[in-house]
Amino acid sequence: MAILDLVKGADGKLSHAKLWPNVASATATAMFVFQGLTHQLTFDIWLVYLGCVGGYSAIIQALGAWRGRPIKEEPNGNDQ
């Protein structure tokens, strides 16, 4: 996967539906790592981080399954 695939749609153009969730996840991850390095990480932050970043991915997968879309596969044939 190329890094641009994180922000491009199937038509090769910028996809806001892909861009902003990835920006939000990257920002949350950066703050999570920063707080971990500065010993400010609390249990509540763990819950919020995992709920937002992990929950978003789980919801997208569930919606795709509910709509009958196949799960995306990597080029080598392994499931994501």
Residue-wise pLDDT for 18-56, tens only, equals: 888 888 888 999 999 999 999 999 999 999 998 888 888
pLDDT band at 6 (very low <50, low <70, confident <90, very high): confident
Give the pLDDT confidence score for residue 20 in this predicted structure: 86
Burial letters for 41-67: b for 16+ Cβ neighbours within 10 Å, e otherwise? Answer: beeeeeeebeeebeeeeeeeeeeeeee
Q: How far apart are CA 74 and CA 66, in angstroms?
A: 21
In degrees, rounded to 5, the angle at the alpha carbon of residue 41 between the alpha carbons of residues 39 and 42 is 130
Give the pLDDT confidence score for residue 21 in this predicted structure: 85
